[in-house]
């Protein structure tokens, strides 16, 4: 089912952030050597939920919500993370990188689709996409050193 309204897209953003936070907390318990970095990502995910929701609630109106249409397929941004910590460090980091790339893609597309009607929401989405690109670099460094 494709997502069409701003509230649906914000709900997906929340789910992606919550799933990512839980994944990083799970990895941190498994890989103590890099747990601080992973727990930092988890904390950032929780803050990201507030950032996106604040931008949304600060700028959306009922009239806008009724006419605002996205075309987002949530399946394109889902990554299977259950059982990954048991697959070994390289596999876990590869999954984290895939998750970050898909989440960045989600934020980039959502920003593009919302830019003509809102200001704060696409700006928040763009920020989240850039954050994901930076995380991919950090994760690649962890993979190289691990």
- Please report, for the domain that includes residue 21, its CATH number: 1.20.1260.10
In tens, the pLDDT along 37-92 reads: 999 999 999 999 988 888 777 666 543 554 556 889 999 999 888 766 567 888 89
Q: What does the pLDDT average to over 118-128? A: 83
Residue 17 contacts residue 78 (beta carbons within 8 Å): no
Residue 108 contacts residue 142 (beta carbons within 8 Å): no
Q: What pLDDT does 116 receive?
A: 76
Q: What pLDDT does 127 receive?
A: 92
Domain holding 139, by residue range, is 6-145
Is 28 within a domain? yes
Label residue 146 by pLDDT band (50, 70, 90).
low
Q: What does the pLDDT average to over 80-106? A: 87
Burial environment of residue 13 by CB neighbours within 10 A (0 to 12, 13 to 18, 19 or more): buried
If one counts the domains in the chain, the total is 1
Is 1 within a domain? no
Q: What pLDDT does 63 receive?
A: 38
Is 14 within a domain? yes
**Bigger pLDDT: 4 vs 65:** 4
Q: What does the pLDDT average to over 100-128? A: 88
What secondary structure does DSSP assign to 82-121, as a single string? TTGGGG-HHHHHHHHHHHHHHHHHHHHHHHHHHTTT-SHH
């Amino acid at each position: 089912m494709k997502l069409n309204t701003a509230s649906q897209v914000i709900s997906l953003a929340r789910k992606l952030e919550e799933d990512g936070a839980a994944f990083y907390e799970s990895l941190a318990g498994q890989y103590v050597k890099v747990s601080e970095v992973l727990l930092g990502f988890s904390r950032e995910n929780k803050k990201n939920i507030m950032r996106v929701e604040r931008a949304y609630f600060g700028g959306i109106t009922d009239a806008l919500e009724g006419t605002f249409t996205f075309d987002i397929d949530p399946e394109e941004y889902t990554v299977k993370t259950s059982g990954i910590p048991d697959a070994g460090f390289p596999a876990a980091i590869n999954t984290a990188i895939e998750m970050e790339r898909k989440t960045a893609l989600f934020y980039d597309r959502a920003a593009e689709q919302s830019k003509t009607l809102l200001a704060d929401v696409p700006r928040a989405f763009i920020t989240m996409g850039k954050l994901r690109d930076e995380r991919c670099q950090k994760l690649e460094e962890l993979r190289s050193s691990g």
